[in-house]
Amino acid sequence: MKSIPATIIILFLISVMLGVPVSIAETGGPEPTIAVTAESDLPGASVSQRAERAPFILIFNGDGNLVETHSFPIRRDAGADRALAAWLAEKKTKILISGNIDKNLMGNLKQNQISAIETRGSVSRAVRDALK
């Protein structure tokens, strides 16, 4: 039975390396509401300073629990801001937190009824502050 947790950890690491979305929380809880650009796939990571080119996006529910991790889903130069806003809307995101959000992305977020918060520091602290 000791091999089951090790197997789960290995599968999690492989899926993250391959860019496969990973659900961490149980389903049925509060829907995902906060997306944070991050330098790694862990809540203790630093908030990424470039919203359109972050290495990872972490999605949290309304209780502040991590529910999904994604390697950055947008892989293009032209129209990245529009594509990111549309992807976040599909994820039912209400707030995007990043270090720097340019005016084009800000406009696309507003069109999708997504608020934006610019901040520095750890992802977990940014989420906690957003939920206050």
Note the pLDDT tens digit of each residue in 54-75: 899 999 999 999 999 999 777 6
Q: What is the mean pLDDT of residues 103-126?
A: 96
> What string of DSSP letters covers the chain?
-THHHHHHHHHHHHHHHTT--EE-SPTTSSPEEEEEEESSSSTTSBBPS-GGG-SEEEEEETTS-EEEEEE-----STTHHHHHHHHHHHTT-SEEEES---HHHHHHHHHTT-EEEE--SBHHHHHHHHT-
pLDDT of residue 72: 78
CATH H-level, domain 21-130: superfamily: Dinitrogenase iron-molybdenum cofactor biosynthesis domain (3.30.420.130)
Q: What is the pTM of this model?
A: 0.75
- The closest alpha carbon to 37, from 109, 98, 102, belongs to 98
**How do the domains of the chain map onto residue ranges?**
21-130
Q: Which of 18-22, 55-59, 69-73, 94-98 has the lowest mean pLDDT?
A: 18-22
